[in-house]
Structure 1
Amino acid sequence: MIRFRPAAALAAASVLLAVQPPASAHAAMQWAVYDAAGHVQNVIQAARALEQINNQIQSLQNEATMLVNDARNLASLPYSSLQTLQGQVERTRGLLAEAQTLAYDVQAIETAFDSRYGDIRVSTSERDLIDRARARWNTSVAGFEDAMRLQAGVVQGLGATQDEMGRLVGVSQNATGALQAAQAGNQLLALQSSQLVELTALLAAQGRATALDAADRAAARADAEARFRRFMGEREQ
């Protein structure tokens, strides 16, 4: 039989402890094990969260861009030609209102035609015929003068109209939004309308002068016919 020696037992225990670590050391080694599957899952979740954040940031940027565009579209045009255009129209109306002798009034025209351009009686005196002819002549001359004054006023306003058109075109080209572009277009249409007003007034003045001259010639023929009938001794029927 082999006897158990204390020294040998101590040596054997030392070897066993060196080969097999204690329980606390074994637990520490288990915590240090790398979990690859869990790491991949964490990375995927982080990537998805980052993608959602990027989408939210892009959405906010799009909304900010829309708000900026809406603000531009709602911005009012910093220029208005309304006062200038109204001044031009008022000036043209003033020239029309200054019509001499026979104004643009239906009742006044009817009264004038009854007394100066209407039928004449054979018994009308020569003096009355002369006065009637002189009144018609003065009216015709005044009509042509009014037309020429209105023409001069329109021509003098062409420079201001051209300058206003240039300013409106420049403003429309620099428009930053839909509202500014629409307002610039409306003002250009208003400028065109004012030009049409001036053209209409000019045509009215020219037509008035031409009509007065034609009426004067017709009345002169009626006066000549009355003189001839009186010379021939005709009497009123």
Structure 2
Amino acid sequence: MISGKRWAASLALLVLSSAGPVRAQLVVFDPNNYAQNVLTAARELQQINNQILALQNQAQMLINQSRNLVNLPYSSLLQLQQSIQRTQDLLKQAQRLAYDVQQIEQAFKTIYAPAAAGTSAADLADNARSRWQTSVAALQDALKLQAGVVGNLDAIKSQSAALVAASQGAAGALAVTQAGNQILAMQAQQLADLTAVVAAQGRAQSLTMAERAAAKDQAREQLRRFLTQGQGDQSSNVRMFH
């Protein structure tokens, strides 16, 4: 009986020794550590959200910049250049005494010069006729230029309407600025037309006044010759106007 108990104890020891060490696995929950991990994850998520928002803002800024760089779809430059060219062409068509300093100086040394004692009656008549023709031509030039400037008003009206419509539908700052610059260029063109008209009218008035002054001087010389003793009035064939 005793020997049987010993044999059972020996068998139990043998089983335990052959089974090897037993490892215990226990799960431990730490509330503080868990809360810290949750806070860390929340902060990282907030940082990610901030980065996404920053990227969205940068993308929107780039979109706005691209819109600001869009050109105005309408340009009135060609029409403005054509209007200015028409006015310049009319100025270049000035008849007889044009807008040239050397021509003006030469004219006032000849046909507008004071009547000299040695000038023949035929030359005096020719000078008077030339001055009259120059005055008439200047008046005609002024009227033609006025008509050309008035003709430009229709083009300016249509350009203004197109520029206003284009600026109102502009996508960005560049287009609005371009519209404003074109409107300023249009105003400059109108000012140039007004300057040309004033110059043409002033030219016509100045030539008319010069013609009157020269006519008075010529009349004085002719009267002097008529009243000079021994010279008297000599008849001659003179063609004043054609």
TM-score (normalizing by structure 1) = 0.83
Distance 1:166 1:124, change over 3 A: same
Query: Are residue 199 (structure 1) and residue 194 (structure 2) matched?
Result: yes
CA distance in 2, matches of 1:57, 1:200: 60
Q: CA offsets, 1:52-91, max 9 Å, x none?
A: 0001001101111111122122222222211111111000
Q: Are 1:87 and 2:69 an aligned pair?
A: no
Once the two structures are TM-superposed, the CA of residue 213 in structure 1 deviates from its matched residue by 0.3
Q: Is the 8 A contact 1:123 1:230 kept in 2?
A: no
How far 1:176 moved relative to its partner? Answer: 2.1
- 1:230 maps to 2:228: no
User: Secondary structure at 1:116's aligned position in 2?
Assistant: coil
In the alignment, which residue of structure 1 is the partner of 2:151? 156
Give the corresponding residue for 2:95: 100
As a proportion of its length, which structure holds more helix? 1
Deviations 1:100-139 (A, max 9, x none): 1111111111111221111111232222222111111110
Q: Give the superposed CA RMSD.
A: 2.1
Match of 1:123 in 2: 118
The equivalent of 1:173 in structure 2 is 168
Identity among equivalent pairs (%): 53
Match of 1:62 in 2: 57
- Displacement, 1:27? 4.8
Q: Which amino acid aligns with 2:137?
A: A
Residue 4 of structure 2: aligned partner: none
Structure 1 gaps of 5+ residues are 1-23
Q: Which runs of 5+ in 2 are unaligned?
A: 1-21, 231-242
TM-score scaled by length of structure 2: 0.81
Moved over 6 A (4+): none
**Offset of residue 148 of structure 1:** 0.3
Q: State the alpha-carbon separation in 2 of the partners of residues 49 and 56 from structure 1.
A: 11
One-letter amino acid of the structure 1 residue matched with residue 42 of structure 2 = A
User: 1-side partners of 2:161 and 2:99: how far apart?
Assistant: 34
Count of residue pairs brought into register by the alignment: 211
